[in-house]
Amino acid sequence: MAHAEAHAAEAHAPQAFIWKYVFSKDHKVIGVQYYVTAMLMALIAGLLAMLIRLQVGFPEATWPTLGKLLPRGFSDGIMSPEFYAMLFTMHGTIMVFFVLSTAPVSGFGNVLIPLQVGWRDMAFPFLNALSYWTFLPGCIIILASFFVGAGAAAGGWTSYPPLSALQGAVPGSGTGQTLWIVGMVFFIASFTMGGLNFLTTILNLRTKGMSLTRLPLTMWAMLLVAVLGLLSFPSLVAGCILLLFDRHFGTSFYLPSGLILTNVPLLNPDGTPLHAGGSPLLWQHLFWFLGHPEVYILMLPALGFTSDILSTFCRKPIFGYKSMVGAMVSIGALSFLVWGHHMFVSGMNPYLGMAFAVFTMLIAVPSAVKVFNWLATLWGSRIQYRTPVFWALGVVSLFISGGLSGIWLGQSAVDIPLHDTYFVVAHFHLIMAGAALFGVFGATAYWFPKMFGRMMNETLGKAHFWFTFVAYYCTFFPMHYIGIAGHMRRIYASGRPIGYYEFLEPLQEINVFITRSALVLGASQLLFFVNFFWSAFKGPKASENPWNAAGLEWTTPSPPGHGNWPGEIPEVHRWPYDYSVPDAPKDFVPQTDPAPIGARAGGH
């Protein structure tokens, strides 16, 4: 691109505050908007989790202060079962969609894609802004649902009908569930716009020399995430609209005849059934056809960040680049063939269960390959212990722990006793939520200088890591144990005096331990918020390339101006992982360096 054009880009940068920071079309601003919104949603969803754990750990306790703060959720200081159901429903919904699909994908994706592929902005800047301004109403609608009618949706984040379809089935199945559906539709519309932008930008707008095999693994992850989202979200939006019709317009997609709700048959005045012919399994198929690719929409970016961070701070090329790409592509492809493992005991035909078990066990292979590649990257390296690499090591650790429990659950027969118990909660919090969350924290520490032009505080960053890492394991690892012992998910109380099951009573002691760990985990996040806001405004100014990293995004000022590079967009001559190249003057060779050294240099 011509020099003059670049200057034009700078000159065209909007000046008024509202166009520069609010209704901006600049990918970096939109990325930060997404990121900050997602982190605020995380704060709310995290507080919901704390309330969940208070109830599970101390089911007999009264909380007069909380009762005053949240009068609708408590009566006489005791949490009501309906509030508890809303808590776990909304914690899951907000975390999965509005935090862990948003911060890594829409947040870092927007910030990083043009900077890492070498372009001035996303392919469709207006669509990009529209995507954020569709996402924000989605957030507001989801949060507003707490304040309407009988409260927020309470049918679980999976919203299985008939619980979510029959308004009398659970208090939140009124207006709260309607808003849940509407909020999801906004979210999916926003994600679709983002996905189109991601795909177009990565495929069509790479700078000269940036072949696909020179893309950072983060970009491969973003590319795959866009494909997964575009192919799978339509299934959920269709499902949501059918659910809306069942709830409000008298259709029966998910509702069979013969329904009896609290001893009252659901009949028309003439005695015919109110609903007929639907199947609740249809929703489960539509939901999990999105739901399982969605797991990888959360995780793939974190796996990409981890690879980039490990390579930079190990001062060593990522091991097995091609097999890493191959592994991510296979995980992406297989993710469309495993949804039925959420439905082994759902009543689905057992033959289908067999097929899904095969693909589920198969997906463990590329996942294991990634771990081995990371370990090989670490082998013979020179690890510089700055905050980002701790998070990356944390992702590797959680990916191992959570991945191994997947081998238990993937064996359909072994899944029978474990299904819908805390074992599953342990599994997905370690691998999906944990890896995604640690990936986001690692990416924040790593790319913060590029986003805000300032460095984060290392001491606070490391303290935040240690508290989070230890508390995370203490919170979620013991859940395997109570899950094996049979502890069901989503139950309001397990131990006496108000719990009902004798076989759960001995587990209460562990629930107390988990709750204490969870409170430490929650409180530790204050360290992050303090560090984030303090550093964003008061942190030391960052240089262009504070980590001596080789990627393209480190060849422009921190933060980059409008148009990303002050002059022409640089040409790329190698992959982004040339660290410790023999005969190189420094221990890294930037992607833009034309020197014919290293294994992947040359040409353009």
In the window 478-497, what residues touch another protein (CB under 8 A)? Answer: 478, 480-481, 484-486, 488-494
- When binding is defined by CB under 8 A, the residue of 58, 420, 512, 594 that contacts another protein is 420
- When binding is defined by CB under 8 A, the residue of 118, 151, 174, 499 that contacts another protein is 499
Q: Is 466 in the site for another protein (CB under 8 A)?
A: yes
Does 162 sit behind a cis peptide bond, omega within 30 degrees of 0 on the bond before it?
A: yes
3-state secondary structure of 564: coil
Rounded to whole angstroms, the Cα distance separating 74 from 498 reads: 16
Rounded to whole angstroms, the Cα distance separating 599 from 408 reads: 41
The site for another protein, by CB under 8 A, has a size of 120
- When binding is defined by CB under 8 A, the residue of 231, 337, 378, 536 that contacts another protein is 378
| Structure token pair of residue 18 | 């509202």
Cβ closest to another protein, residue 119 vs residue 422: 422
> Could you give the C-alpha distances from 166 to 163, 276, 284, in angstroms and in order?
6, 13, 16
Q: Nearest distance from residue 527's CB to another protein, in Å? A: 17
| Structure token pair of residue 570 | 């640089």
Interface positions, 57-116, toward another protein (CB under 8 A): 81-82, 85
Residue 424's H or E segment, with its range, is helix 422-428
| DSSP, residue by residue, 488-525 | BTT-S--STTT---GGGGGGHHHHHHHHHHHHHHHHHH
Interface positions, 222-251, toward another protein (CB under 8 A): none
Interface positions, 537-556, toward another protein (CB under 8 A): none
Q: Nearest distance from residue 192's CB to another protein, in Å? A: 29
| Structure token pair of residue 145 | 């649902």
Cβ closest to another protein, residue 400 vs residue 460: 400
Strand partners, 217: none
Q: Nearest distance from residue 478's CB to another protein, in Å? A: 6
- When binding is defined by CB under 8 A, the residue of 120, 292, 419, 573 that contacts another protein is 419
Interface positions, 260-279, toward another protein (CB under 8 A): 260-267, 271, 273, 278-279
Cβ closest to another protein, residue 103 vs residue 471: 471
> Could you give the C-alpha distances from 76 to 47, 172, 493, in angstroms and in order?
21, 21, 17
Q: Is 318 in the site for another protein (CB under 8 A)?
A: yes
Rounded to whole angstroms, the Cα distance separating 264 from 258 reads: 11
Q: Is 414 in the site for another protein (CB under 8 A)?
A: yes
Cβ closest to another protein, residue 109 vs residue 478: 478
3-state secondary structure of 338: coil
Cα-based angle 378, 380, 385 (whole degrees, multiple of 5): 55
| Structure token pair of residue 541 | 């100014």
Q: Is 390 in the site for another protein (CB under 8 A)?
A: yes
Cβ closest to another protein, residue 115 vs residue 343: 343
Cβ closest to another protein, residue 414 vs residue 519: 414
Query: Which pairs count as long-range contacts for 7-11, CB under 8 Å and 24+ apart, including other chains?
Result: 9/120, 9/562, 9/563, 10/561, 10/562, 10/563, 10/566
Of 269, 243, 240, residue with least CA distance to 255: 243
- When binding is defined by CB under 8 A, the residue of 15, 18, 270, 322 that contacts another protein is 322
Rounded to whole angstroms, the Cα distance separating 319 from 381 reads: 11
Cβ closest to another protein, residue 131 vs residue 311: 311
Q: Interface mask (CB under 8 A) for another protein, residues 287-316, using x and -?
A: ---------------------------xxx
- When binding is defined by CB under 8 A, the residue of 175, 335, 412, 515 that contacts another protein is 412
Question: Which amino acid is located at 163 in the chain?
Answer: L
Interface positions, 136-175, toward another protein (CB under 8 A): 155-156, 160, 162-163, 166, 169-171
Cβ closest to another protein, residue 65 vs residue 270: 270
Q: Is 559 in the site for another protein (CB under 8 A)?
A: no
Of 9, 5, 6, 297, residue with least CA distance to 125: 9
Cβ closest to another protein, residue 200 vs residue 279: 279
Q: Nearest distance from residue 490's CB to another protein, in Å? A: 4
Cβ closest to another protein, residue 147 vs residue 466: 466
| Structure token pair of residue 394 | 């944390």
Cβ closest to another protein, residue 283 vs residue 447: 283
Rounded to whole angstroms, the Cα distance separating 178 from 165 reads: 10
Q: Is the dihedral of CA 497, 499, 504, 507 positive or negative?
A: negative
Interface positions, 568-587, toward another protein (CB under 8 A): 577, 579-582, 587
Cβ closest to another protein, residue 120 vs residue 386: 386
Q: Do 25 and 582 form a contact (C-beta atoms < 8 A)?
A: no
Instruction: Provide the pairing of β-strand 264-265 with 260-261.
Output: antiparallel
Strand partners, 264: 261
- When binding is defined by CB under 8 A, the residue of 68, 248, 382, 586 that contacts another protein is 382
Interface positions, 3-42, toward another protein (CB under 8 A): none
Cβ closest to another protein, residue 31 vs residue 406: 406
> Could you give the C-alpha distances from 452 to 319, 443, 448, in angstroms and in order?
30, 13, 6
Cβ closest to another protein, residue 130 vs residue 255: 255
Q: Nearest distance from residue 547's CB to another protein, in Å? A: 13
Q: Is 126 in the site for another protein (CB under 8 A)?
A: no
Q: Interface mask (CB under 8 A) for another protein, residues 338-377, using x and -?
A: -------xxx--x--xx--xx--xx-xx--xx-xxx-xx-
- When binding is defined by CB under 8 A, the residue of 119, 288, 428, 469 that contacts another protein is 469
3-state secondary structure 133-151: HHHHHHHHHHHHHHHCCCC
Q: Nearest distance from residue 132's CB to another protein, in Å? A: 33
Question: Which amino acid is located at 442 in the chain?
Answer: G
Q: Nearest distance from residue 583's CB to another protein, in Å? A: 10
